[in-house]
Structure 1
């Protein structure tokens, strides 16, 4: 277990999946990251790569060959190597291998970087294409979940406000697949009150178009909460498992999304996929301030 610590926060990160396990605010004496109770959902904050969401039939085609991959990809289930580590920062790495190439035939270097700064934790995704001539097709995303309630009250006492205030496109899910062709308007002029029944059709997904966006998770009393700033993501998902009354909410920055309802199965045509030329590097990031 990797521990990052300063006078405000103590953070624990597992090398398995480069997953954030704990964010303990010393002043508030509160744990913000979901405990991972398997009765509801056994993870904490997995990293999603090289896909976000589900593929049609859990499969895709590339160069005339069919490959199979489970929801959210394989990175969350693999051990990362520590590239560098300080008291307040760590860089973890996953590279392609014989086992990954059997289901994802690309060369890649995927780094997850955590950096503490006061009461904030920054998470950076760095994807490199080490190939000499082939492009790299991928999606990447975060899935951090937060304990609710934090400091009293109940789940429905909390809200999520979105800045900038505007009308966003909400992408609906049909089963596990996205339907971007028929978006519905989502106005952030009024904070989103968290209600379990709003997640019966899975996540609430907003299209961010890589615009810097901030999400404030708190009670009306606003004594303690979490503020997430997403720097350049395509989408964000807000999720809690349907029908379980789970005591957490996930706020998920995504550079990619589940297959569309009319997906062709061709990985190069996948909606929201990122394309990285040979030798190039992709960067995505978000920060969480725990107060």
Structure 2
């Protein structure tokens, strides 16, 4: 476990999946990150690579061959190597190997950087294509889960208590629905006004809420009971997901910045033509990043 710390926040990251596991407010002791209660969801903030979401039949085709990959890819379950750690930064990396090439036939070097500054944590994903002659196709994204307030009826959770999300700038964003297999129904996508939207458990009855975003989009999550405000700013992320389990009623909400998206339900294509896929030329490197600013009154 790696710990980053300053006078505002204490951050912990584990080497398995290079996963963020804790962000504690130093002044109050408040834990922002979901603590992976397996009765609801046994992860904290998994890294999604080399795919985001679900593939049609959990498989894809590349150069005439068919490969199997489970939801969100394999990086979240791999042990990353620690490259550098200071009091306010840490770098982890994962490289292609004989096992990864069986399910994902691309050489890659995947580096994740965490930088803590005041009450903000910046997370960057650096993807390097070490191949001499082969284009690297990939998707990448984050899936951090944040503790939020809920009401109770007896010993049971009733619903989220005064939780909302907001896009900055507010405006019309394309919302892309999922089918019952977790695939996008792009033909049914519609623009909707995203301003200050309250969240209830039933908001996720059709799985994650997914939007297409642009480079200037910022997203905030406000908890008016715990008096917390989380602001996420993204760079080179084209899609954004918001998720919490349903019908289980768990006291967390995920904010998910994605450079990539789950497969189309009605359009099976070669991996190179997958919607939202990133193509990286030989010996090139590309960075996708986002920052999370934590505030508690």
TM-score range (shorter-chain normalised) is over 0.9
Does residue 177 in structure 1 map to residue 201 in structure 2?
no
| Aligned residue in 1 for 2:155 | none
| Aligned residue in 1 for 2:6 | 6
The answer on whether the counterparts of 1:44 and 1:144 sit within 8 Å (CA) in structure 2 is yes
Task: Tell me the alpha carbon deviations over residues 173-225 of structure 1, each in whole angstroms, 9 at most, x when there is no partner.
Answer: 11210122331122123x1101100101100001013x222212113478322
Does residue 130 in structure 1 map to residue 126 in structure 2?
no
The answer on whether the counterparts of 1:59 and 1:265 sit within 8 Å (CA) in structure 2 is no
Shift of the 53–21 alpha-carbon distance from structure 1 to 2, 3 Å rule, reads: same
Shift of the 222–34 alpha-carbon distance from structure 1 to 2, 3 Å rule, reads: closer
The answer on whether the counterparts of 1:200 and 1:242 sit within 8 Å (CA) in structure 2 is yes
Normalised by the size of structure 2, how large is the TM-score?
0.94
| Aligned residue in 2 for 1:284 | 288
Does residue 200 in structure 1 map to residue 202 in structure 2?
no
Task: Tell me the alpha carbon deviations over residues 107-126 of structure 1, each in whole angstroms, 9 at most, x when there is no partner.
Answer: 00111100000011110010
Q: Secondary structure at the match of 2:170?
A: coil
Q: Following TM superposition, where does structure 1 have runs of at least 4 consecutive aligned residues deviating by more than 6 angstroms?
A: none
Q: Secondary structure at the match of 2:237?
A: coil
Listed as ranges, the matches of 1:33-52 within 5 Å are 33-52=33-52
**Aligned-residue RMSD, C-alpha:** 1.7
Separation of aligned partners in 2, 1:97 and 1:89: 27
Q: Secondary structure at the match of 1:258?
A: coil
The answer on whether the counterparts of 1:33 and 1:44 sit within 8 Å (CA) in structure 2 is yes
Listed as ranges, the matches of 1:156-171 within 5 Å are 156-171=161-176
Q: Structure 1: where are the runs of 5+ without partners?
A: none
The answer on whether the counterparts of 2:136 and 2:282 sit within 8 Å (CA) in structure 1 is yes
The alpha carbon displacement at 1:154 in A equals 6.3
Q: Secondary structure at the match of 1:27?
A: coil
Normalised by the size of structure 1, how large is the TM-score?
0.95
Q: Structure 2: where are the runs of 5+ without partners?
A: 153-157
Instruction: Return the match for 1:186 from 179, 187, 192.
Output: 192
Task: Tell me the alpha carbon deviations over residues 247-273 of structure 1, each in whole angstroms, 9 at most, x when there is no partner.
Answer: 100000000011001232411111110
The alpha carbon displacement at 1:129 in A equals 0.5
Task: Tell me the alpha carbon deviations over residues 136-186 of structure 1, each in whole angstroms, 9 at most, x when there is no partner.
Answer: 000000000000119x99623111111011100001111210122331122
The answer on whether the counterparts of 1:95 and 1:108 sit within 8 Å (CA) in structure 2 is yes
